[in-house]
């Protein structure tokens, strides 16, 4: 599979009802005006606090975002007379607002709630303070609108490193995955890996809800890895950290010999180390995949074997005595 | 590259048996084979992939073939979908 050609999708919108249902427990949301405005769509992953707009300055008012009413907004409204308050509230409601969330111990006047209901705008209440709510809700919206894709491959946690193996159908990805699971590593997904971009530089991979931890072994059929190997053999999601592309060894293929020239690949706009691994009968890919994971760990902790070797070689070249034994004199060690 | 849109005609949808029929037929050809439904594209040679689609009767799938024998492949695959996998419609 050509990883450069993958189909990237992302949601254009979610409904206010979906936002409420997905977060009502986590953020302890209460719908203050029933299911009013549940059909409205949210198209922006950002959140907005409408302080300035309430004060009447509506230029650059990002009304299409979820509007959060925290202490600042509520205290501003409270210092106005009821008449002014209604006017101020109506100022922002002349725009198409998806929904509002009132945070902390603040509540909305019944008069204002009625106006929101008339305009078909949902008002929720959360006991969380504004910063916390913005943090959690921001993470949820970021996840909902993140670019995502579906890849054909096997995805495992090997020594804590998320290794995604790709390669043509039938090359033996599932068999290697099974071998790795047998050796104590954990399967995230086989054949269908859903990858989503989190934040700016993180890719998370998971299986699909239908398939979960089933895999197909040619000639055997479907296997439920969780049932066979137990809960220790699986996990539900993992950060994608290395991509290993398996391919048949080709005479004319170009493979790295030193490891100094590994390429990164761009997946959903995130740069990920990419290793092309030629395979042929009798080659133990499982062990190589384990070494890839361990080598990645070493690099992560600041040790790059290829660079260390190159440095040692450079030092030897500048020295006079070359090609000496590693140890000069064995001191009567005849073992 | 050849693309072709097909519809699931049998009542039971794309369950295990038709999924197996699809990947068995696909395994006979060299070309790469992808199936897309609702923006999700999977490898048509993987039974897990095909079953992930959970395609119900009446849903439309977009098939994509790429490789040396793509013409014959596309023809045979379209026929399999057309036959409703030999199941009641």
* pLDDT value at residue A253: 72
Residue A320 scores a pLDDT above 70: no
DSSP class of residue B1 equals -
**Contact residues on chain A for B54, CB-CB shorter than 8 A:** 210
Task: Tell me, yes or no, whether A138 and A203 share the same domain.
Answer: no
State how far the Cα of A71 lies from the Cα of A112, in Å rounded to an integer: 16
Is A334 among the domain residues?
A: no
Q: Is A257 designated active site? A: yes
Task: Tell me, yes or no, whether A22 and A129 share the same domain.
Answer: yes
Asked whether the beta carbons of A73 and A49 are under 8 A apart, the reply is: yes
Percent of chain A with pLDDT over 70: 95
Average confidence score pLDDT of chain A: 88
In chain B, how many domains are there?
1
Is A315 among the domain residues?
A: no
Tell me, what CATH number does A224's domain have? 3.40.50.300
> Are B52 and A192 an interchain contact pair (Cβ–Cβ within 8 Å)?
yes
State how far the Cα of B38 lies from the Cα of A117, in Å rounded to an integer: 34
> Are B47 and A222 an interchain contact pair (Cβ–Cβ within 8 Å)?
yes
Task: Tell me, yes or no, whether A136 and A151 share the same domain.
Answer: no
Q: Which two tokens mark A159? A: 């020594």
End position of a domain, from candidates A144, A160, A195: A144
Query: What is the per-residue pLDDT across B36-51, written as a single tens digit (0 to 9) for each?
Result: 998 888 999 988 889 8
* pLDDT value at residue A281: 79
Of the listed ranges A260-264, A285-289, A318-322, the one predicted with least confidence = A318-322
* pLDDT value at residue A315: 83
Domain that holds residue B60: 2-86
Overall average pLDDT of the B59-79 stretch: 94
Torsion on CA atoms A189, A195, A197, A202, rounded to nearest 10: 40
* pLDDT value at residue A98: 93
Percent of chain A with pLDDT over 90: 51
Residue A204 scores a pLDDT above 60: yes
**Contact residues on chain B for A167, CB-CB shorter than 8 A:** none
Overall average pLDDT of the A66-86 stretch: 91
**What kind and span of H or E run contains A205?**
strand A202-206
Check A79, A257, A320, A325 and give the catalytic one. Answer: A257
Is A271 among the domain residues?
A: yes
Beta strand A161-166 pairing with A242-248? parallel
In chain A, how many domains are there?
2
Residue B28 scores a pLDDT above 70: yes
**Contact residues on chain A for B36, CB-CB shorter than 8 A:** 7
* pLDDT value at residue A22: 92
Residue A239 scores a pLDDT above 80: yes
HSE of A162, CA atoms in CB hemisphere, 13 A:
19
Is A316 among the domain residues?
A: no
Residue B13 scores a pLDDT above 80: yes
Residue A247 scores a pLDDT above 60: yes
Which of B27, B49, B54 faces A191 most closely, judged by CB atoms?
Answer: B49
Query: Model pTM?
Result: 0.77
Beta bridge partners of A243: A164, A274
Contacts 24+ apart (CB under 8 A), A279-282: A279/A171, A279/A172, A279/A246, A279/A247, A279/A248, A279/A249, A280/A248, A280/A249
* pLDDT value at residue A231: 94
Residue A308 scores a pLDDT above 90: no
Q: Does B48 touch chain A (CB under 8 A)?
A: yes
Torsion on CA atoms A117, A120, A125, A128, rounded to nearest 10: -150
Q: Provide the pLDDT confidence category of residue A262 given band limits of 50, 70 and 90.
A: confident
Task: Tell me, yes or no, whether A96 and A238 share the same domain.
Answer: no
Task: Tell me, yes or no, whether A75 and A133 share the same domain.
Answer: yes
Neighbouring CB atoms inside 10 A of B37's CB total: 17
Task: Tell me, yes or no, whether A169 and A304 share the same domain.
Answer: yes
Task: Tell me, yes or no, whether A115 and A174 share the same domain.
Answer: no
Q: Which residue has the higher pLDDT, A169 or A41?
A: A41
Task: Tell me, yes or no, whether A139 and A191 share the same domain.
Answer: no
* pLDDT value at residue A5: 67
Q: Provide the pLDDT confidence category of residue A322 given band limits of 50, 70 and 90.
A: low
Residue A243 scores a pLDDT above 70: yes
Q: Which residue has the higher pLDDT, A45 or A316?
A: A45
Which of A1, A170, A216 faces B48 most closely, judged by CB atoms?
Answer: A216
Overall average pLDDT of the A241-265 stretch: 82
Q: Provide the pLDDT confidence category of residue A321 given band limits of 50, 70 and 90.
A: low
Q: Which DSSP string corresponds to A176-188?
A: HHHHHHHTT-EEE
Domain that holds residue A82: 9-144
* pLDDT value at residue A233: 95
Overall average pLDDT of the A306-312 stretch: 84
Q: Which residue has the higher pLDDT, A4 or A307?
A: A307
Quote the distance between the C-alpha of residue A20 and its chain's center: 22
Q: Provide the pLDDT confidence category of residue B73 given band limits of 50, 70 and 90.
A: very high
Residue A297 scores a pLDDT above 80: yes
**What kind and span of H or E run contains A131?**
helix A130-144
Which of A7, A208, A211 faces B41 most closely, judged by CB atoms?
Answer: A7
Q: Provide the pLDDT confidence category of residue A128 given band limits of 50, 70 and 90.
A: very high
Is A267 among the domain residues?
A: yes
Residue B2 scores a pLDDT above 60: yes
Report ipTM (2 d.p.): 0.73
Q: Provide the pLDDT confidence category of residue A313 given band limits of 50, 70 and 90.
A: confident
Instruction: State the catalytic residues of B.
Output: 15
* pLDDT value at residue A230: 94
Tell me, what CATH number does B49's domain have? 3.30.1340.10
């Amino acid at each position: 599979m050509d990883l450069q050609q993958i189909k990237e999708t992302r949601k254009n919108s979610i409904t206010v009802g979906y936002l409420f249902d997905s977060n009502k427990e986590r953020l302890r949301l209460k719908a203050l005006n029933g299911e009013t405005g549940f059909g409205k769509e949210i198209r922006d992953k950002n959140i907005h606090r409408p302080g300035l707009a309430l004060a009447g300055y509506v230029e650059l008012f990002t009304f299409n975002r979820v509007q959060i009413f925290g202490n600042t907004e509520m205290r501003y409204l409270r210092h106005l007379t009821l008449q002014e308050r209604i006017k101020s509230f109506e100022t922002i409601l002349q725009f198409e607002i998806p929904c509002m969330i009132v945070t902390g111990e603040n509540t909305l006047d019944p008069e204002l709630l009625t106006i929101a209901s008339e305009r078909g705008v949902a008002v929720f209440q959360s006991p969380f303070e504004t910063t916390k709510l913005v943090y959690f809700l921001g993470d949820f919206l970021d996840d909902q609108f993140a670019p995502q894709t579906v890849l054909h491959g096997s995805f495992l946690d090997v020594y804590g490193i998320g290794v995604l193996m790709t390669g043509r159908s039938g090359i033996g990805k599932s068999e290697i995955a099974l071998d790795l699971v047998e050796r104590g590593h954990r399967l995230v997904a086989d054949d269908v890996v859903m990858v989503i971009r989190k934040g700016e530089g993180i890719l998370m991979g998971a299986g699909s809800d239908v398939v979960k931890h089933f895999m197909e072994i040619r000639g055997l059929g479907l296997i439920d890895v969780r049932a066979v190997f137990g809960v220790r053999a699986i996990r539900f999601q993992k950060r994608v950290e290395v991509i290993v592309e398996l391919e048949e060894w080709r005479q004319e293929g170009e493979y790295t010999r030193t490891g100094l020239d590994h390429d990164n690949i761009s997946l959903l706009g995130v740069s990920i180390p990419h290793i092309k691994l030629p395979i042929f009968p009798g080659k133990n890919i499982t062990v190589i995949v384990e070494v890839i994971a361990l080598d990645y760990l070493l690099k992560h902790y600041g040790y790059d074997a290829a660079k260390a070797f190159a440095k040692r070689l450079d030092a030897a070249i500048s020295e006079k005595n070359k090609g000496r034994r590693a140890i000069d004199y064995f001191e009567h060690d005849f073992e | 590259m050849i693309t072709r849109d097909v519809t699931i005609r049998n009542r039971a949808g794309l369950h295990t048996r038709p999924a197996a029929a699809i990947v068995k037929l696909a395994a006979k050809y060299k070309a790469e084979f992808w199936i897309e439904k609702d923006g999700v594209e999977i490898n048509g040679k993987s039974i897990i992939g095909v079953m992930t689609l959970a395609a119900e009767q009446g849903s439309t799938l977009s098939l994509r073939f790429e490789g040396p024998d793509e013409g014959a492949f596309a023809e045979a695959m379209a026929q399999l979908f057309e036959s409703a996998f030999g199941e009641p419609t």
